[in-house]
Amino acid sequence: MWFRRVVHIVTRAAIVFATVGRSASRQRQRTFACCKTSTSNSRACFQTKHEKFSEMLTLLTLLLGAATADGSLDSRHPEAVEVYLCDFGQSSDINHDRWPDHWKRHRSPDYPAFIDIAIADEGCLEVEMNGGAAMIHSPPIPISPLFSYVLEANVRTSELRHSGASISVSYFDADAKLVDLAGRSRVVTGTEPWSRLRVGPFSTSHERATFVVITLHVEPRDQGFDLTGFAQFDDVWLARLPRMTLQSSSPHNVYSDPGDVEITCNVSGIQQRDPLLRFELIDLTGRTLAEMKHRLDGEVVALSNQVSSDPMLAESEGVKHIDDGYRGEMSWRPPLSGHGFFRVRVRMLGDTGVMHEREISLVVVRPQPPPVGGEFGWSMPEGDRQLPLDAIADVLPQVGANWVKFPLWYEPTDRQRADDLAHFTERLNTNRI
Q: 243-309+321-364 belongs to which CATH class?
A: mainly beta
pLDDT given for residue 328 in this prediction: 85
- Give the mean model confidence (pLDDT) for residues 308-317: 41
Instruction: Yes or no: say if 236 and 169 are a contact pair by the CB < 8 Å rule.
Output: no
CA within 13 Å, CB half, 158: 9
Would the pLDDT of 172 be above 80? yes
Q: Give ∠ CA 150-153-159 in degrees, rounded to 5.
A: 140
Helices (H), strands (E): how many in the chain? 5, 21
CA distances to 31, 120, 192, 230 from 159, in Å: 35, 18, 9, 7
Which one is predicted more confidently, 197 or 398?
Answer: 197
Residue 47 banded pLDDT, cuts 50, 70, 90: very low
Identical fold for domains 81-242 and 243-309+321-364, yes or no, is no
Residue 320 banded pLDDT, cuts 50, 70, 90: low
Q: 81-242 in CATH: which number?
A: 2.60.120.200
Which one is predicted more confidently, 191 or 31?
Answer: 191
Each residue of 58-71: pLDDT tens digit? 555 455 444 433 43
pLDDT given for residue 42 in this prediction: 40
Would the pLDDT of 158 be above 60? yes
- In the chain, what are the domain boundaries? 27-67+369-430, 81-242, 243-309+321-364
Write down the mean pLDDT value for the chain.
Answer: 77
* Residue 176 Ramachandran class (φ > 0 left, ψ -120 to 50 alpha, else beta): left
Interatomic CA distance for residues 112 and 218, integer angstroms:
12
- DSSP result, 122-152: TSSEEEE-SSS-EEEEPPPEE--TTEEEEEE
Each residue of 364-386: pLDDT tens digit? 887 777 667 778 888 998 888 87
Element (H, E) at 7: helix 2-49
pLDDT given for residue 290 in this prediction: 92
